Amino acid sequence: MGIPVEPGRPLGGACFIADVDTLGEDLVGPARPLLAAGLPAVLLRARGRAARDVVRIGSALRDAAGEAGAAFVVNGDLDAALALEADGVHIPAAGPGVAAVRARLPDGIAVGRSAHDEAEVVLAAGADWVFVSPVFATESKPGAPTLGPDALAALVARARPPVYALGGIDARNVAECRSAGVAGVAAIRAFAGPEGVAFLRAALESSPREGA
């Protein structure tokens, strides 16, 4: 397995965060129509669960992603990522450094990291991608300060890895994120809702193209 090779966009133009706390354990249901519509990457997030439970929850999602040719990434849990033969692992901003994570992984497994400000973006140097959030207001973090498009653009300019915008991304603002220079967008509810496929198409249609 391995992250699809796409210069500057290791997760393609869009990543569905399949979050167990938000969506429950049946993650294949919301993922399947997205995968059929060309979703390039899915990230399994099951915070606070034992590795064996992450593996149990994620096995069917991994299989569905593999059948569709999408990248499959596990959030935070290196043991589960290895057991699931994931294409990549994503590390929270407060997690171990990228070099320490890579030292525990076989060659070929990609490493991403989260960041919320310039200092954390700098710490993400050496990662294959960085999720920058929250760009807009989001239900998962009510009342939290947001970056907005201008601060996002500044962090994109500062970051070494490709940046994926996260937090309150929807069909109304995905073009603003693209204008800020991100490689792609990541989301939970916008993908899992009734307009998920339409949002995916909007995200992919607004993707920068080589030579454009």
- 51, with CB counted inside 10 A (0-12, 13-18, 19+), is middle
DSSP codes, 28-57: HHHHHHHHHTT--EEEEE-TT--HHHHHHH
The torsion angles phi and psi of 112, rounded to 5 degrees, stand at: -115, 170
The Cα 123–Cα 118 span in angstroms is 9
Q: Cα dist. 203→38, 85, 115, 206 in Å?
A: 11, 27, 21, 5
Would you say 184 and 203 are in contact if contact means Cβ atoms under 8 Å apart? yes
Rounded mean pLDDT for each run of 10 residues along the chain, 212 residues in total: 68 97 98 98 98 98 97 97 98 96 94 98 97 92 88 98 97 95 97 97 74 38
User: What is the pLDDT at residue 211?
Assistant: 38
Domains, the chain, in order of start with CATH, read 14-204 (3.20.20.70)
Length of the chain as a residue count: 212
* Residue-wise pLDDT tens digits, 149-181: 999 999 999 999 999 999 999 999 999 999 999
The torsion angles phi and psi of 76, rounded to 5 degrees, stand at: 80, -35
The torsion angles phi and psi of 39, rounded to 5 degrees, stand at: -55, 125
